[in-house]
């Protein structure tokens, strides 16, 4: 007898989970996302790659000025090249890149993923370089929000049935070419390819990967599905996103003022 309420409770919890789960959002047939890289809805609330370079240069100038007041000269370094938003967001998709570097990072990706330059004893100046752009705090919060929402939309898209379907088609295509992976992430993250330089097997796999993605419309479908989740996120967080966009615009404006004064 004591087991009946437990079973009933579990059943009710199951029903509750089923009723509260969000349905998969409809795709917008008018949305064109076949560019490379695709432009996604949340991109409008991010700092563009060009503006990122402006902010980075402004912070460098503030840092160098602070160090100069203390009697130190900081050499000017070339800025890392701008990487477009959503570059390889859906993993490898360019056949020329696949033939050249397999799944290894491009030089631009390596530049932005490497450790930042450190200057021992320059803590105060490093802080000034950040806080010297007045709206930094609000803009940083805005960037974190967009990053969080984009991470969430990517994970949601991976679990979506429509993306799962093209992953299955891609997997079948790869199997016909002699490569056995359940989805593109498995190929991209294959431990066998964590070598100093891409191996012939990695190159062959990467080229097949890109061709199968193209044949099965993985990137276009994946981007359309993620765009649908992002549009839902924008609807749910519009006020915060608009406030954040204004903060980012103020940050970029302050950075341009610093750069133009040099």
Structural domain for 110, as ranges: 47-260
The top-scoring range by mean pLDDT among 75-79, 109-113, 233-237 is 233-237
pLDDT computed for residue 106 by the predictor: 86
Residue 39 counted as domain residue:
no
- The SS3 call for residue 181 is coil
The reply to whether 116 falls in a domain is: yes
| pLDDT at 185 exceeding the cut of 90 | yes
Dist CA 232 CA 199 (whole Å): 42
The number of folded domains in the chain is 1
- The mean pLDDT of 197-219, rounded to a whole number, is 98
Using the Cα atoms of residue 35, residue 41, residue 44 and residue 46 in order, give the sign of their dihedral.
Answer: negative
Q: Note whether residue 18 is domain-resident.
A: no
The whole-angstrom separation of Cα 221 and Cα 227 is: 10
Q: What is the pLDDT of residues 235-249, one digit of tens each?
A: 999 999 999 999 999
Q: What percent of the chain shows pLDDT beyond 70?
A: 85
- Is 9 domain-assigned? no
DSSP, residue by residue, 189-242: T-GGG-SSS--HHHHHHHHHHHHHHHHHTHHHHHHHHHHHHHHHHHHHSHHHHH
38 located within any domain: no
The mean predicted confidence, pLDDT, of the chain is 87
**Nearest residue to 173 (alpha-carbon basis) of 232, 131, 207, 215:** 215
Q: Give the side-chain half-sphere CA count within 13 A for 129.
A: 20
Say if CB 146 and CB 42 are below 8 A apart: yes
Output the pLDDT for position 262.
73
- Please indicate, yes or no, if residue 72 is contained in any of the structural domains: yes
pTM of the model as a whole: 0.83
Q: Contact, 241 vs 234, CB < 8 A?
A: yes
In a domain, 58, yes or no: yes
Q: Following CA atoms 222, 225, 230, 231 in sequence, which dihedral angle do they give, to the nearest 10 degrees?
A: 140
Residue 235: how many other CB atoms lie within 10 Å: 9
Classify residue 165: in a domain, yes or no.
Answer: yes
State the number of CA atoms in the 13 A half-sphere of 196 facing the CB.
Answer: 0
């Amino acid at each position: 007898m004591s087991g009946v309420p437990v079973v009933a409770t579990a059943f009710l919890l199951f029903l509750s989970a089923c009723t509260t789960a969000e349905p998969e959002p409809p795709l917008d047939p008018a949305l064109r996302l076949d560019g490379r890289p695709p432009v996604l809805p949340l991109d409008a609330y991010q700092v563009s790659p060009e503006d990122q370079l402006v902010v980075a240069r402004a912070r460098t100038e503030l840092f160098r000025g602070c160090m100069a007041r203390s009697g130190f000269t900081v050499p000017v370094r070339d800025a890392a090249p701008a990487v477009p938003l959503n570059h390889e967001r859906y993993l490898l998709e360019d056949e020329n890149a696949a033939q050249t570097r397999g799944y290894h990072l491009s030089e631009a990706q390596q530049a932005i993923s490497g450790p930042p330059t450190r200057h021992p004893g320059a803590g105060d100046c490093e802080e000034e370089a950040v806080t010297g752009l007045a709206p930094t705090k609000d803009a940083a919060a805005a960037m974190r929000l967009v990053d969080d929402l984009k991470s969430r939309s990517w994970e949601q898209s991976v679990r979506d049935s429509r993306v799962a379907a093209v992953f299955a088609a891609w997997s079948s295509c790869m199997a016909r070419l002699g490569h056995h992976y359940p989805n593109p992430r498995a190929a991209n993250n294959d431990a066998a390819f964590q070598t100093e330089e891409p191996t012939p097997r990695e190159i062959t796999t990467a080229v097949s990967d890109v061709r199968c993605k193209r044949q099965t419309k993985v990137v276009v479908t994946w981007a359309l599905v993620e765009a649908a989740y992002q549009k839902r996120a924008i609807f749910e967080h519009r006020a915060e996103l608009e406030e954040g966009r204004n903060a980012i615009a103020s940050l970029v404006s302050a950075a341009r003022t610093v750069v133009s004064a040099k």
